[in-house]
Structure 1
């Protein structure tokens, strides 16, 4: 899973996204969008 994700977008790792998700500046809707993006990337 992680390898596929990194291949598609090397500049964005799961760790970076996790940091964004956990950052308090990120709103709930943005967090949901991020999670949806991860799910889409992983499932392809």
Structure 2
């Protein structure tokens, strides 16, 4: 089977709760990094 298989919707829900915040954290990190780099130039 391709992709991630979930035996139950409960496990899929738990997985989504863990994964959902990651893009927002990544974007915040990029913003902070860009600010820091600009400040050093």
TM-score by length of 1: 0.40
Which structure has more relative contact order (CA 8 Å, sep 6+)? It is: 1
